Amino acid sequence: MSNPRIAFLGLGIMGCGMARQLLAKRFPVTVFNRNAEKSMALGKEGATIAASPAEAAATADVIVSMLADDTASRSLWLGENGALAAAAKGTLSIECGTVTVGWIQELSAATARHGCELLDAPVTGSKTQAASGELKFLVGGSVSALHRARPVLSAMGTSIAHLGPSGSGALMKLINNFVCGVQIASLAEALVMIERSGLDRGPALEILTGGAPGSPLVKTISTRMTTADFTPNFLLRLMAKDLGYAIAEGGKLAINLTTAEAALGLFQQGIAGGHGEQDISAVVAPLRT
Residue pLDDT, tens place only, 131-156: 999 999 999 999 999 999 999 999 99
Handedness of CA 52, 241, 122, 162 (dihedral sign): negative
**What CATH code would you report for 6-165?**
3.40.50.720
Low-confidence residues of the chain, pLDDT below 70?
1
Q: Please give the pLDDT value at position 171.
A: 98
Q: Please give the pLDDT value at position 3.
A: 94
Task: Assign domain 171-288 one CATH number from 3.40.50.300, 1.20.1580.10, 3.40.47.10, 1.10.1040.10.
Answer: 1.10.1040.10
Choose the catalytic residue: 38, 44, 127, 173.
173
Q: Please give the pLDDT value at position 2.
A: 80
241 is catalytic: no
**Domain spans in the chain, listed from the N-terminal domain onward:** 6-165, 171-288
